[in-house]
């Protein structure tokens, strides 16, 4: 009897000790729903998906299509304006157009100096853009590449590389009494494009002649005072081009 009583006492003590040990162990964290997710540090505050703000809906965007060009009409600012085969004074005139004629604009040459038009009778050709009267800026037209031409290209910039607009050049060949010339000026990118017949050959001279009031070298609207740092000189004043060789873009510096 004593032996059975001792066994019962020991069993009660053992059960009591086990109960205290189990109650002192912290509860096991609930395992992640995703198998293999590592147990988190208790010091880290977890943000559950239900507490996160909803993501804004993403609306697919499509690239904007360019606005198609719509031809419009202009009229010559002078009588007897020559409609030429190609953009440049060295190309033959197809006909004369008058101030009473309506011309439908189709595009412009690289550089924006010449405008491609169609007459009411259906004749097409090139006219000098500054001799047109229009309510639309004819320098913002789509570029139309002329065919059957040779091109002399040039770039005018200042010492820092800033493009200089409105610098006029004369492209000529031959003696003064029989000179064949073309006049062109730089656009907003500082580039000029002088077009010659594809039958042209030999050496041509590109010479600086003037600076227009549209240029960005002026400090005031009267076009009488250069901006600080500009002296009104072009370096070099002229360059020669041999059409029999590969012609690179001629470089001029406005000083």
Domains, the chain, ranges and CATH?
69-145 (2.30.30.40), 148-255 (2.60.40.10)
pLDDT at residue 59 tops 50: no
pLDDT at residue 8 tops 70: no
Lookup: tokens for 174: 């031959």
pLDDT at residue 36 tops 50: no
Q: Which pLDDT does position 151 carry in this prediction? A: 92
- Tell me the three state secondary structure of residue 112: coil
Share of the chain above pLDDT 90, in %: 59
The per-residue pLDDT of the chain, averaged, comes to 78
pLDDT at residue 41 tops 50: no
pLDDT higher at 70 or 13:
70
Listed in sequence order, the residues at least 6 apart from 103 whose beta carbon sits closer than 8 Å to its beta carbon are 73, 74, 75, 76, 97, 117, 118, 119, 127, 132
pLDDT higher at 247 or 171:
171
pLDDT at residue 28 tops 70: no
pLDDT at residue 63 tops 70: no
Q: Which pLDDT does position 179 carry in this prediction? A: 57
Helix (H) or strand (E) holding 253: strand 250-254
pLDDT at residue 64 tops 80: no
| Least-confidence region, from 56-65, 73-82, 90-99, 245-254 | 56-65
Q: Which pLDDT does position 70 carry in this prediction? A: 86
Note the pTM of the prediction, 2 decimals. 0.70
Q: How far apart are CA 94 and CA 97, in angstroms?
A: 10
Q: How confident is the model at residue 181 (pLDDT cuts 50, 70, 90)?
A: low
Q: How confident is the model at residue 65 (pLDDT cuts 50, 70, 90)?
A: low
pLDDT at residue 152 tops 50: yes
pLDDT at residue 240 tops 70: yes
DSSP code of 5? H
pLDDT at residue 81 tops 90: yes
């Amino acid at each position: 009897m004593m032996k059975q009583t001792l066994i019962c006492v020991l069993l009660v003590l053992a059960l009591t000790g086990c109960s205290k040990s189990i109650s002192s162990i912290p509860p096991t964290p609930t395992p992640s729903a995703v198998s293999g997710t590592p147990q988190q540090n208790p010091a880290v505050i977890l943000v559950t998906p239900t507490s996160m703000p909803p993501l804004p809906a993403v609306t697919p965007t499509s690239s904007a299509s360019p606005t198609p060009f719509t031809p419009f009409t202009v009229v010559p600012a002078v009588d007897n304006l020559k409609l030429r085969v190609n953009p440049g004074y060295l190309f033959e005139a197809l006909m004369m157009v008058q101030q009473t004629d309506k011309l439908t604009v189709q595009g412009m040459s690289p550089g924006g100096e010449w405008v491609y038009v169609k007459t009411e009778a259906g004749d097409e050709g090139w006219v000098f853009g500054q001799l047109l009267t229009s309510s639309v800026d004819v320098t913002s037209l789509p570029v139309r590449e002329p065919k059957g031409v040779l091109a002399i290209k040039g770039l005018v910039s200042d010492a820092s590389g800033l493009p200089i607009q409105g610098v006029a050049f004369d492209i000529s060949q031959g003696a003064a009494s029989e000179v064949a010339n073309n006049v062109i000026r730089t656009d907003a990118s500082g580039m000029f494009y002088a077009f010659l017949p594809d039958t042209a050959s030999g050496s041509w001279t590109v010479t600086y002649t003037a600076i227009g009031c549209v240029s960005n070298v002026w400090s005031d609207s009267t076009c009488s005072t250069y901006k600080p740092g500009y002296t009104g000189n072009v370096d070099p004043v002229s360059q020669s081009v041999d059409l029999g060789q590969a012609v690179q873009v001629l470089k001029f510096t406005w000083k």
